[in-house]
Each structure stands twice: as C-alpha cells, then as structure tokens.
Homo-oligomer: A and B are copies of this chain.
C-alpha cells in the first residue's frame, strides 16, 4: 500500500520528462501542450491538473533536474577558492550535466522564452552561482568570461556533435570520424579545464 519515496505522482514526472524532451528538441514556443499531452496519451486538461501553467512545467523541470548543480554549488560554497576546487567544480558540473544534456540545451536555446519567466530566472540564478564559484572572488571580467565558457563547454560540444549527426557523413574526409557522445563529453571536459586553468587567483 505504501511505496518508499513514492514520486509525487507518476503522471506528473512523466509530463516533466516528455516536456523537457520536446522543449529541448523543438523549443519551448513551438511545443504546444497538445503535443505533450498527445505523446503521453492524456488530455491537455490533465496537464493542468498537475501544473498551473505552461511555465510551471518549466519550473517542475528545473526543480527535478537541477539537483546536481545545487549539490555542486552547496559543496563549492563550503570550500575556500583554490585552483583545485575550481577544477573539481567544473568536473562535477560536467558530470552532472551529461545525462541532463537536454536541460542545458533547452536553457541555452530558449533564452527569449525564458526571459521574463520566473522559472527561467530560477535556473539562470543557479548557473550564475556556479560561474561565480568557479572564478572565485574578485575576478576580472576576463576570468568571469573564462568561467562562463568553461561551464558552457558541454553545450558547444553537444552543438558540434549534433551538427555531425545532421550532416550524416557528408563531411568529405575534411575531419576525422564523427565522435561518440562519450568522446564529445570528454573533449568538452578537457577544453573546459584548459579554459578554467587560465583563471588567476583573485587579485586580493
């Protein structure tokens, strides 16, 4: 009769999953609630039983997916800044985001829709928090930019990967073989650490 740690409801989390999928693939604006409902085999009205508004679904997504970031932030806030901490943060972020690639993509590619949305803001704050921890206190604009790019690295890698797949083999020996997801992520981490490595300790 009782499940340990029962999710708020099955439908609710299925909505979150499917919505993120569609939002990431087709964009927030181009994804209608009908599409989400159809793919789930329920009615639009059912969505409204679980979420007050379309934007509230985004809220649900963030709430359900941002945990690794929150943990990384929580951890980072307890450490005094050091190059090691910095690198560890980058690593943790990358690790957490690999399986959540759609979340990052959604966030990056839907800024206009998220601008002015409370839930969009919510996630942006987390990103900004991470960035701040990575570059540490008293950072120059250069270093803040490095921190930003280091974290966005995963995203660029995913962009590139997607490009390769869309071309499906149409690149004539110009480049090497198409990378796998794992390779892409590895590359993203390599480059991210390179970039972050140039961040200099805050000038007192």
**Count of this chain's copies in the oligomeric assembly:** 4
Q: Is the CB of B152 within 8 A of A156?
A: yes
Shortest beta-carbon distance, A149 to chain B, in Å? 5
Measured CB to CB, the nearest residue on chain B to A31 is B112
- Whether, in the assembled complex, A18 has its beta carbon less than 8 Å from a beta carbon of chain B, the answer is no
Q: Which residues of B contact A152 (CB under 8 A)?
A: 149, 152, 156
A17 to B113 alpha-carbon distance, docked (Å): 22
A108 to B111 alpha-carbon distance, docked (Å): 9
- Whether, in the assembled complex, A132 has its beta carbon less than 8 Å from a beta carbon of chain B, the answer is yes
Whether A160 contacts B148 in the complex (CB less than 8 A), given A30-B113, A113-B30, comes out as: yes
Measured CB to CB, the nearest residue on chain B to A137 is B174
Q: Is the CB of B176 within 8 A of A141?
A: yes
Q: Is the CB of A30 within 8 A of B160?
A: no
Query: How many A residues face the partner with a CB closer than 8 A?
Result: 45
Besides A141-B179, A145-B188, A194-B198, 14 other A-B contacts (C-beta < 8 A)? A27-B29, A29-B30, A109-B111, A128-B163, A132-B175, A137-B174, A138-B175, A139-B176, A141-B183, A141-B184, A146-B191, A148-B156, A148-B159, A191-B195
Q: Which residues of A contact B (CB under 8 A)?
A: 26-30, 108-113, 115, 128, 132, 137-142, 144-146, 148-149, 152-153, 156-157, 159-160, 163, 174-176, 179, 183-184, 187-188, 190-191, 194-195, 198
Identify 13 residue pairs between A and B in the complex whose beta-carbon atoms are under 8 Å apart, listed by A's number: A30-B113, A109-B111, A110-B112, A132-B175, A137-B174, A141-B160, A141-B187, A144-B160, A145-B156, A148-B159, A149-B149, A149-B153, A152-B152
